[in-house]
Amino acid sequence: MTNDLRSAEPVARSGVFELAGEQPVRRLGFGAMRLTGKGIWGEPGDPEQARQVLRRAVELGVTLIDTADSYGPEVSERLIAEALHPYPEELVIATKAGLCRTGPDQWVPNGRPAYLVQQCELSLRRLGVDTIDLFQLHRIDRDVPMAEQLGALHQLREAGKIRHIGLSEVDAEQLAAAREHVDVASVQNRYNLADREHEPVLEVCEAAGIGFIPWFPVATGDLAQPGGALDEVARRHDATPAQVALSWLLHHSPVVLPIPGTSQVAHLEENCAAATIELSEREVAELAVAGEQVRPGYLQRG
């Protein structure tokens, strides 16, 4: 399985989700955070390889690429434009604003309306588009009223600068409050087989038809160790544990849109092949139970 893509566009096997009920994307996407330097800071060691990864992702059928102004900062968005502009008609590029960078691995929330508007304009310029398909508030800034942050995004949408609004790292209460102000097309939270803290948020998204974009989607804890539940299922499907972890997300809920990221073409191809794995209902349930018993280490951004 690992070296067999099984089709020219394996990602097509992941199915389709319509953002806001109108914008179709294939459910297995690509996260472009790792196309930058160490600490998500500066240029990658091999910029051309980063561009090759992006082009290969589209060849494999990816129609959702997730990035942010803070990745680099600016580097990820610029590489996407260099590699893929003019964009295929079906490609949706989602970006985010609301985190300032002060150095490698440093992230500071900034939800001031003027800042969010400024960053949207800069993202439009870097990506080379007139409208951003999905513009996500990277974090809710606790020092700025939520209504003001979302009001800025609403104004951008009214002006035609963005098409849909998304949120990142919110709980169910925050999501409910945000929906009082704007239509929410997506939520991007840390979520994977071994970390389902945000299951209540996923349940709200599923009921409301909101896309749920899990970042850090392939964390597996001890499940991937020899003899572990994930390892056993992977062996049955001639797959890697990471592939099965991604497949589990796709089977777990129809609104889940995993965005595994990488800076290597071979790893990208392996991730995309996960869309071709067909898990049984029993395997999905067994993995869910096993996942509740482990807790991996976490990244603190997405």
Task: Check 71, 87, 191, 298 and give the catalytic one.
Answer: 71
Question: Amino acid identity of 239?
Answer: A
Say whether 298 is catalytic: no
By DSSP bridging, strand 99-103 and strand 186-190 are unpaired
**Is residue 302 a contact partner of residue 188, using CB atoms and an 8 Å limit?**
yes
- Tokens 């544990």 correspond to 241
- Tokens 């800042």 correspond to 115
Q: How many helices (H) and strands (E) does the chain have?
A: 10, 11
| Three-state DSSP string of 241-284 | HHHHHHHHHHHHCCCECCCCCCCCHHHHHHHHHHHHCCCCHHHH
**Is residue 230 a contact partner of residue 244, using CB atoms and an 8 Å limit?**
yes
**Is residue 66 a contact partner of residue 213, using CB atoms and an 8 Å limit?**
yes
- Tokens 């809920």 correspond to 253
211, β-bridge pairs: 186
Mapped onto helix, strand or coil, the DSSP state of residue 221 is helix
Burial of 89 (0-12, 13-18, 19+ CB in 10 A): exposed
- In angstroms, the CA 32 to CA 234 distance is 26
Phi and psi (nearest 5°) for 175?
-60, -45
Which amino acids are annotated catalytic?
71
